[in-house]
């Protein structure tokens, strides 16, 4: 369970999910990456998301956990400990840009309003493709 929110407006205007500390934790899904090394998995995700390498986060299952981790990394690390078949977890660590894009705080009502606004403009998005 992670604190997820539709709180980011992507470059092409899509409303996308972000891990948002302070939001309610909800069930999330994951997919297995067919990479033989963590740097490869991170680069594959970076290419798919079209972001810089600094926005890609990861934790390693066998890492020493005595040091204090940020909230999200700690939550993913805790989940990873229950996944014996996985060596690491990788995710996009982009934060909400709602305040920057909409000039107001993120709120459910405004997210719905945003979707209504783009629908009234006739904007239609095709499903995103993945990077092989």
> pLDDT tens digits, residue range 49-80?
889 999 999 999 987 656 677 888 888 998 89
Instruction: Say which residues have a Cβ less than 8 Å from residue 99's Cβ, sequence separation at least 6.
Output: 105, 106
**Domain membership of residue 6 as a residue range:** 2-120
Rounded to the nearest 10°, the torsion over CA 126, 10, 50, 35 is -70
DSSP classification of residue 17? E
Query: Does residue 11 lie within any of the structural domains?
Result: yes
Query: Does residue 126 lie within any of the structural domains?
Result: no
Query: Does residue 50 lie within any of the structural domains?
Result: yes
Residue 55 has phi, psi (to 5 degrees) of -90, -5
Query: Does residue 106 lie within any of the structural domains?
Result: yes
How many domains does one find in the chain? 1
Query: Does residue 132 lie within any of the structural domains?
Result: no
Query: Does residue 128 lie within any of the structural domains?
Result: no
> pLDDT tens digits, residue range 19-45?
988 889 899 899 999 899 999 999 999
Distance, in Å, from the CA atom of 14 to the CA atom of 17, rounded to the nearest integer, reads: 10
Give me the percent of the chain exceeding a pLDDT of 70.
Answer: 90
Q: Which of 103, 77, 96 is nearest to 88 (CA)?
A: 77
What sign results for the dihedral spanned by CA atoms 51, 52, 53, 58?
negative
Query: Does residue 105 lie within any of the structural domains?
Result: yes
* Mean pLDDT taken over the chain: 88
As a whole number, mean pLDDT of residues 9-24 equals: 90
> pLDDT tens digits, residue range 66-117?
667 788 888 899 889 999 999 999 999 999 999 999 999 999 999 999 999 9
Burial degree of 90 (CB within 10 A; 0-12, 13-18, 19+): buried
Indicate the pLDDT class of residue 128, thresholds 50, 70 and 90.
low
Global pTM reads 0.78
């Amino acid at each position: 369970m992670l604190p997820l929110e539709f709180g980011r407006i992507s470059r092409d205007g899509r409303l996308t999910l972000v891990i948002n500390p302070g939001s309610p934790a909800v069930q999330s899904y994951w997919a297995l990456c067919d990479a033989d090394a963590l740097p490869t998995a991170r680069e594959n995700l970076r290419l798919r998301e079209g972001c810089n390498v600094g926005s890609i986060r990861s934790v390693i299952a066998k890492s020493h956990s005595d040091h204090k981790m940020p909230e999200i990394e700690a939550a993913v690390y805790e989940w990873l400990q229950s996944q014996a078949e996985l060596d690491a977890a990788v995710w996009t660590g982009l934060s909400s840009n709602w305040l920057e894009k909409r000039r107001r705080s993120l709120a459910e009502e405004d997210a719905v309003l945003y979707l209504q606004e783009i629908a009234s403009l006739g904007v239609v998005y095709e499903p995103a493709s993945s990077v092989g």
